[in-house]
């Protein structure tokens, strides 16, 4: 690998990843590779391990990696603390962003940016600069500017939380961003605003791993590749047409109890009805999402 330069390509490589929560093995050998400027969508049914994948890559406590590797530009991500992973260029936009009473996005990101700039701690100047960056990005996704000074995610609507995740992503400018259900809780305008901002970042080189139940967000994020995860394994990969097939047929063809399981690859596209934006219209309450991964709350 050549020495990194300002516009060097970056690659997150997940190989044979096995991970457990308690006694339950959730990831059973995941292989994925996400590079700069590329958008990968990972879709899967309830309990397939989608959110676990996001959490394990970012290092959320509560999971144990039992086999496999995750590297970013060849660096062993799994040996790093979560904050070191973030400093190395990973970002996780959370499905359910945690409320942090008394701590603003400006305070938190000022600390992160100060460290990245080689300072020990954030200065008043760094805090002010971070606040300005956050306010500018808030405007880009239609989030009220005063929310970036408020305690993180406290008293924010579901939509405001997701916009706030996008704002922080844009300010931190990671190399690879994992978006865990970025579309849940967003109305269509907010979804468009967030997705457009993320797409602009991908054009500037951001690599994206977008975990989602619904193809709706993919209209805006326009994935280069779509992966289907079932029972902790990637069982199919393809282009955007795979998402359309999922939209039409659901995950049934991939599930073991179905007679046609195992011929998954053949469903890609042909003969399927384009149903984007209709069949999978989400429920009003994103957290009552029938697809919600019960393992999300682990850890």
Site residues (CB under 8 A) for other proteins? 58-61, 81-83, 86-87, 91-92, 94, 97-103, 107-109, 111-113, 115-116, 121, 151-152, 168, 172, 299
Give least dist CB 250 to other proteins, A.
32
Smaller CB separation from other proteins, 26 or 94: 94
- Listed as own residue / partner, the contacts of 117-123 with beta carbons closer than 8 Å and 24 or more positions apart are none
Whichever of 103 and 136 has its CB closer to other proteins, that residue is 103
| β partners of residue 208 | 39, 177
DSSP, collapsed to helix, strand or coil, labels residue 93 as strand
Q: Which residues in the chain belong to E strands, given as ranges?
A: 11-21, 24-35, 39-43, 64-72, 75-76, 90-93, 100-104, 151-152, 176-180, 207-212, 225-230, 233-238
| Shortest Å distance, C-beta 106 to other proteins | 11
Pairwise CA distance, residues 219 & 211, whole Å: 14
In the complex, what is the shortest distance from the CB of residue 60 to other proteins, in angstroms, rounded to a whole number?
6
Nearer to other proteins, 80 or 275 (CB): 80
Strands 176-180 and 90-93: parallel
Nearer to other proteins (CB atom), residue 61 or residue 259: 61
Token pair of 77, please?
């991500």
Cβ distance to other proteins smaller for residue 13 or 60: 60
- Both structure tokens of 293: 């991964």
CB of 108 to other proteins, least distance (A): 5
Least distance between other proteins and beta carbon 101 (Å): 5
Residue 223: half-sphere exposure toward Cβ, Cα within 13 Å? 27
């Amino acid at each position: 690998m050549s020495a990194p330069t300002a516009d060097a390509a970056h690659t997150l490589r997940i190989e044979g990843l096995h991970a457990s929560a308690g006694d339950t093995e959730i990831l059973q050998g995941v292989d994925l590779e996400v590079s700069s400027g590329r958008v990968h969508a990972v879709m899967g049914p309830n309990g397939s391990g989608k959110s676990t994948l996001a959490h394990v890559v970012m290092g959320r406590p509560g999971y144990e990696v039992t086999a496999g590797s995750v590297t970013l530009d060849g660096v062993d991500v799994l040996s790093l603390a979560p904050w070191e992973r973030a400093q190395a260029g990973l970002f996780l936009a959370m499905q359910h962003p945690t409320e942090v009473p008394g701590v603003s996005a400006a305070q938190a990101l000022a600390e992160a940016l100060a460290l990245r700039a080689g300072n020990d701690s954030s200065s008043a100047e760094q805090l002010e600069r971070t606040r300005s960056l956050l306010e500018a990005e808030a405007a880009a996704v239609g989030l009220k500017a005063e929310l970036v000074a408020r305690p993180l995610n406290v008293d924010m609507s579901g939509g405001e939380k997701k916009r706030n995740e996008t704002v922080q992503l844009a300010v931190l400018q990671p190399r690879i961003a994992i978006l865990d259900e970025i579309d849940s809780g967003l109305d269509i305008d907010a979804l468009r605003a967030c997705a457009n901002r993320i797409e602009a970042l991908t054009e500037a080189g951001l690599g994206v791993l977008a975990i989602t139940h619904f193809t709706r967000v993919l209209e805006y994020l326009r994935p280069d590749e779509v992966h289907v995860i079932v029972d902790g394994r990637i069982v199919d990969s393809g282009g955007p047409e795979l998402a359309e097939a999922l939209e039409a047929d659901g995950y049934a063809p991939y599930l073991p109890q179905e007679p046609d399981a195992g011929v998954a690859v053949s469903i890609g596209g042909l003969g399927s009805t384009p149903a984007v934006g209709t069949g999978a219209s989400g429920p009003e309450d994103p957290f009552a999402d029938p697809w919600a991964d019960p393992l999300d709350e682990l850890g």
